[in-house]
Chains A and B, each alone.
Chain A
């Protein structure tokens, strides 16, 4: 009691303030070190699907019925599991995927056994965009702002190219040229053979969106809320959209019949003339932000919103979105890019802890097989 008496009211208040500050710090601290969750896309080969789960496992599935090809293929290392944002890439007997831990993993597509890892003894910065496989090389952008080309036969780096900021997009190849965007507000065209720069184009905002190469033009959306069209040969600006979206362009745009469909985090899809960037219709409003890159199936553009709804846009006369599918669990959202094959859309939906793979008919929205729980 004597001690209590000696504490001044002012000190009590000070102590209360300290407790509140520390409480606030601790509460906020929960968000300081947010753990990367990941949202891997799906790769489709002739008979199989590959996708990375939230548990850090590379899952191989039978395309026809969704059955697993192997029981378990955890990519866990001594440092634990990692998150995967990119789309796996498959070539020959190997499936490749880049992890948030800064390593490229390979897995046998038939047995699920782990193959080589690059770099073998260290970690790069996080790899968030997916990988591009072409002619014996795997290309990827990294959080350290570099583009890497790795020789898959000799497991050595063929070249690297430095940009000014982190890279979260997937490299795209057209002919002998690699196109990749960076947070330094630029899109680069690089020689696939040696990584030398052909040209770069600078926008007004950072670029997370993977470029789309269509009709010799590179289309991409920027954080400055505009869509750009740049000549694929020399990087000259063809047009910059007059419309200014509500938020960032994050997903890769889609193109069909000379029309660009650009989803935005404001929950709208902007429909632009691919030739001149003019708006062809009022923005199509969906129910929530769009992170997932859309896919073209036949004459329809299929787009998924974060809320877990999948919409079909008839590219003919009617641009009214038709909701064709909704994920079963209301807590699930769709962040990963959509993938389509033979009229079927593969949707990787997730909560922060669980994820599910859906196979849905692009025309009707009917589920092709029972959803597969991946985690």
Chain B
């Protein structure tokens, strides 16, 4: 692992120190700014990941139907699922791979923060081995560890709570609405487990890490808002409804069309489920109360409109397809 610490971690660490020279030597401010920079540098990957995740969620009802239909034929189920993915233009790995690519960067940032928060003399000696011969680096270290009301070296309870809350908000935004009890319990587990776990970790780790988590969560929330178009599960929770207003929003028009096309080609038996199509235009969004339609057994999580309110363009394309 020497190469890891001498390469990526050292690069991140020295960048943090160099950046701090423009930010009054404040480690707290530097953590926030570098987190923002890195998150925006990885923006294309994040977009890909969020859109893929969203698309997977949108296909979930259809997957559930397939699972029911082919419960006893695993091979056929797999084939049908792959067919559905292909026709919808979705890669199942699309949500995981971007995250995996970003992970080394997150870990390097995380570890470099740990190193910079050197508390003991042994820590500081270890840190000295990672510093490069940039003049600014040697004069800046050790950085100012006090930030706002807390010391970045010590755990801070309010900040730990903030970690949990921001992580919950982030998770809640992407939690799919589903009628399937098993999927719902999985979603609920993810929704609560991660915030609690990270909140707990933040209570025992130096606040510098907690600050990084909070900054990262807030950026993710903002990105999710703009990429997936809205507050997702949060607006659902706010309305107290089982569906949200716009599950596939800004920037996901193509995806919606592809899914619509996939609906047609996949020969799925109609189910006793509400058809809820996401609204994409302002008029659709304001176009009357949702009226559960039971035509094709397709439920779009988060869609507040019935098939009747689907955009004309989409309808036209469907008829042309026929």
Contacts and interface: CB of A to CB of B under 8 A. Distances in A.
A14 B114 contact: no
A24 B92 CA distance: 24
A246 B128 CA distance: 10
Contacts of A83: 120
A128 B115 CA distance: 19
A195 B97 CA distance: 61
Given A8-B92, A18-B194, A223-B139, A31 B186 contact: no
Interface string B112-130: 0011000111111100110
Contact of A36 (B63, B71, B122): B122
Interface in A120-140: 128
B279 to A, nearest CB: 24
A265 B125 contact: yes
Given A5-B67, A28-B110, A17 B138 contact: no
A14 B96 contact: yes
B284 interface: no
B172 to A, nearest CB: 15
Contacts, number: 120
Interface stretch (B99-107, B157-165, B251-259, B310-318): B99-107
B114 A28 contact: yes
B221 interface: no
Contacts of A205: 138-139
Interface stretch (B52-60, B286-294, B297-305): B52-60
B319 interface: no
Contact of B107 (A24, A246, A250): A24
* Residue among A10, A14, A39 with max Cβ neighbours from chain B (10 Å): A10
A335 B60 CA distance: 61
B182 interface: yes
Interface string A166-177: 001000000000
A22 B103 CA distance: 11
B96 A16 contact: yes
A247 B67 contact: no
A22 B197 contact: yes
Nearest to A13: B96
Interface string A247-259: 1101000000000
Interface string A1-45: 011011111111110111011101100110111111101000000
Contacts of A10: 52-53, 56, 92-96
B121 A247 contact: no
A8 B60 contact: yes
14 contacts: A2-B71, A6-B67, A6-B182, A13-B96, A13-B100, A21-B103, A24-B103, A25-B201, A28-B107, A28-B110, A29-B205, A32-B205, A224-B139, A250-B128
Given A9-B96, A13-B99, A289-B128, 8 more contacts: A2-B71, A5-B67, A6-B180, A10-B56, A10-B95, A24-B103, A100-B120, A205-B139
Interface of A: 2-3, 5-14, 16-18, 20-22, 24-25, 28-29, 31-37, 39, 83, 85, 100, 128, 168, 183, 204-206, 208, 223-225, 246-248, 250, 265, 289, 291, 335
Interface of B: 52-53, 56, 60, 63-64, 67, 71, 74, 77, 92-97, 99-100, 103, 106-107, 110-111, 114-115, 119-125, 128-129, 131, 133, 138-139, 141-142, 180, 182-183, 186, 194, 197, 201, 204-206, 209
